[in-house]
Amino acid sequence: MIRLSVVVAVVGDDFTLNRCLSALVPQTLGKPVEVILPFDDSMQDMDGIRARFPEVRFLDLGRAYTQSPAGTVTAKHELFDRRASQGLKAARGEVISLVQDWGAPAPDWCDQVLAAHQLPHAAIGGAVENRHNSIFNWAVYFLDFGRYQLPLPEGPSDYLTDVNIGYKRAALEEVAHLWADRYNEVTVNWELLRRGHTLWQCPRIVVYQDRGAIKLKAMLVERFAWGRIFGAARARWVSAPMRWVYILAVPLIPLLLVARPGLRALRVGQGFYAWLRCVPVMLLFATPWSLGEAWGLLTRQSHPHDAGMES
């Protein structure tokens, strides 16, 4: 019986995927753990990866279909979501975890996931640490993963990151209609909360984030597109009055996104100076995010071509 299925969502390149699998696969050998890697025809050099990691269960999804125009940031994100969704469907384990290839799991990651899931909670997520020292990478890390930086308290949480999360099979199947085509952790996790389940964070489950060198223009485009996706997900989830509260609060989003990891760093007594030197860049990256979030909140669409997208 397979106790743990690990779905690797590919968002990077051959180098980051090789690094992720090199950290993950050795710790699965001889254990009731499977690694699933969904891929489509938009991904290059998969033959080389398959030859290097024969222990991995590769899931060929065929043609890379997206509702958004091919090549756009939104289309790429859609492909990430579809790969994750198909990987979840193929998983056979009692616990089903997700990681991204931008992150390398710690050497004891699998053992820690299985140990944590002795607890009864529906979803259990872990910590994310930064492994790239450029100011751009630190800025993106604080914006995306600052709330998951060590030291991380163990306990219930309203948020868990999709780069380091595991679900009980029964809980995930309970909300299968939400990830049947595209997986979005915000939608899935909030529905689990609404149904009375607990999201639990465990600091012993650690991944190390390193997405490589970041280009300024590409990051600004990404921030807008990803903010729009988040805004659209939130707009479809909250009540109409709350949607307008969020819309009116959009001008405050950059300040909130930048201040939150700084306040946390002060509270835990770690990382404040790393955060401080990133503040101007964080504001630069948080601004297009807030504009994208406003777009998504107003239109309820992550892209103009999403008009037929399921709610």
Q: Find the CATH number of the domain harbouring 184.
A: 3.90.550.10
Cβ atoms of residues 56 and 23 within 8 Å: no
Q: Same domain, yes or no, for 74 and 44?
A: yes
The CA dihedral of 205, 211, 212, 216, to the nearest 10 degrees, is: -140
Please tell me whether residue 160 adopts helix, strand or coil conformation.
coil
Last residue of a domain, one of 209, 226, 261: 209
pLDDT of residue 302: 67
**Quick check: is 166 in a domain?**
yes
Q: Based on the structure, what is the number of domains in the chain?
A: 2
**Quick check: is 44 in a domain?**
yes
pLDDT 10s digits, 135-147:
999 999 999 999 9
Instruction: Give the pLDDT band of residue 188 (cuts 50, 70, 90).
Output: very high
Q: Same domain, yes or no, for 33 and 179?
A: yes
Q: Same domain, yes or no, for 220 and 187?
A: no
Q: Which amino acid is at 141?
A: Y
pLDDT of residue 234: 87
Enumerate long-range contacts of 302-305, CB under 8 Å, 24 or more apart.
302/68, 302/74, 302/228, 302/229, 302/231, 302/232, 302/233, 303/67, 303/68, 303/72, 303/74, 303/228, 305/67, 305/68, 305/69
Tokens of 2: 């397979």
Mean pLDDT of the 162-191 span: 95
pLDDT of residue 238: 84
**Quick check: is 31 in a domain?**
yes
Last residue of a domain, one of 209, 244, 267: 209
Domain residues for the domain of 289 are 216-306
Give the integer Cα–Cα distance in Å for 143 and 158: 17
Average pLDDT, the chain: 92
Q: Same domain, yes or no, for 173 and 259?
A: no
Q: Same domain, yes or no, for 69 and 188?
A: yes
Give the integer Cα–Cα distance in Å for 220 and 44: 25
Which of 6-10, 71-75, 278-282 bottoms out in mean pLDDT, i.e. has the lowest?
71-75
Q: Same domain, yes or no, for 56 and 205?
A: yes
Q: Same domain, yes or no, for 198 and 226?
A: no
Q: Is the pTM of this model over 0.75?
A: yes
Last residue of a domain, one of 190, 209, 228: 209
Mean pLDDT of the 32-50 span: 92
Q: Same domain, yes or no, for 119 and 249?
A: no
Instruction: Give the pLDDT band of residue 274 (cuts 50, 70, 90).
Output: very high
pLDDT 10s digits, 222-250:
999 999 988 988 888 788 888 999 899 98
Give the integer Cα–Cα distance in Å for 279 and 260: 11
Q: Which tops the pLDDT comparison, 73 or 140? A: 140
**Quick check: is 311 in a domain?**
no
What stretches of the chain adopt beta strand conformation (E)?
4-9, 33-39, 57-60, 95-100, 103-105, 123-130, 155-156, 164-168, 199-209
pLDDT of residue 156: 97
Q: Same domain, yes or no, for 267 and 284?
A: yes
pLDDT above 60: residue 304: no
**Quick check: is 81 in a domain?**
yes
**Quick check: is 27 in a domain?**
yes
Residue 181's φ and ψ, nearest 5 degrees, are -110, -45
Mean pLDDT of the 104-114 span: 97
pLDDT above 70: residue 151: yes
